[in-house]
Structure 1
């Protein structure tokens, strides 16, 4: 582990461009459950499979059931940035991390102070009326029951990417640009099982692909560094 940590510290040294690519495991240390691990959201029992309830077709057909699940499992307003979020913001301020590409929708990277955050799957903090396009904050979801509605009567939909929906093309392009220009790509807290997000790794042309995860991923054999551990603890050791 010490040799791996030394190698990671060198790969993220000042003067090098590091892009961080993170998934749900980055926020578990803030008390937000992930999806696929033991005890994760996808292992819980509901009237419908959780992965079905976060699909566009389910949202359109069953908005009441969608919002019951969404408020219970997807929105964690009391969560605070953990050591990983905080250290990444510090590394960005030092000029060592050029971008944070995240699959998370919780907004904790911005809360910690990161500026260049590319949210592949959107954010719970951005919501929009499907009829008139009026924008709303998270309060519109938290302070209402059932299906939240705009003053015009339209349904307010979270600007999160549900299954069957496409990623925002501008965010996707910015992520590709950042990854393709990086010297080091640090991937953490993700099973690399969700596409097209996981497919962004193929655009990396740098010299150090580093993986920090508690369990194996499909990219372990192709990585230059593989560290088993919590990303908050690992990043806290990067000086």
Structure 2
């Protein structure tokens, strides 16, 4: 493991443009479970069981708004979660003068809370809200749940989290920016993702630089594409790397 950490540190030293491509695994150490491991929800009124993916779909929001907001409040309230060492590592690395871009599939706002400034959100951000009908930004601090269990703004308009739901297209501008950042990077660090969700997972193929690294708790089929693949908890690994090689 120490050899892996030293190799990783050397790659960073030899790189100026670094992209961190992060998935749910980087946030599990902040107490946020991967929603795909959830069992979904059961609605007593209809007698139906809905999968985790169904409850995060645009069709579910349109058809069962009360159930959508109940489930979202129960499982996707990240307001009390704090960034862990994995998030903080890239914010700190940016402060050393490296050009660090974070491309994230997560909606938990933890990279922002950690202090990273260049963040490309592929799936949106759960800390932001917008009106359901027009997409106008909504003040998250001013929304409230009505008597029927639907989130509304002060004008009474239904709002929704500013995230990409199943059944919706990813933002084209975000995808183009992610592809450009990865294509221009010297080093790509993929963390906490199985690279199984497309089109986001296809972004790694844009990378042409010399140093590709994978940090993941479980094996990944595409690991052969990486110069360094470490099966590890990313937060602990990155905390050790920072302390041993970069802390002043």
TM-score above 0.5: yes
Report the structure number with the largest CA radius of gyration. 2
The equivalent residue for 2:84 is 82
Matches within 5 A, 1:129-148: 129-140=131-142, 143-144=144-145, 146-148=149-151
**Which residue among 175, 190, 195 is the counterpart of 2:178?**
175
TM-score, normalisation: structure 1: 0.91
Among 204, 207, 210, the residue aligned to 2:207:
204
What RMSD, in angstroms, separates the aligned Cα atoms of the two structures? 1.7
Give the Å deviation of 1:220: 1.1
How many residues are aligned here? 234
2:224 partner SS: helix
Structure 1 gap ranges (5+): none
Residue aligning to 2:157? 154
Give the 3-state SS of the residue equivalent to 2:157 in structure 1: coil
SS in 2 for 1:12: helix
- Structure 2: state its 5+ residue gaps: 43-48
What's the offset of the Cα at 1:151? 4.0
- Answer with 9-18 or 218-227: which moved more: 9-18
Checking the alignment, whether the CA contact within 8 Å between 2:40 and 2:50 is kept in structure 1 is no
Distance 1:137 1:80, change over 3 A: farther
Q: 2:118 corresponds to which residue?
A: 116
Partner of 2:46: none
The secondary structure found in structure 2 opposite 1:221 is: helix
CA–CA separation in structure 2 for the residues paired with 1:223 and 1:90: 24
Shift of residue 125 of structure 1? 1.5
TM-score by length of 2: 0.88
Determine helix, strand or coil for the equivalent of 1:219.
Answer: helix
2:223 maps to 1:220 = yes
SS of structure 1 residue aligned to 2:190: strand
Could you tell me whether the CA contact under 8 Å between 2:29 and 2:84 is conserved in 1? Answer: yes
1:185 is the counterpart of 2:185: no
Query: Where does residue 234 of structure 1 map in the other structure?
Result: 237
8 A Cα contact 2:41 2:71, kept in partner:
no
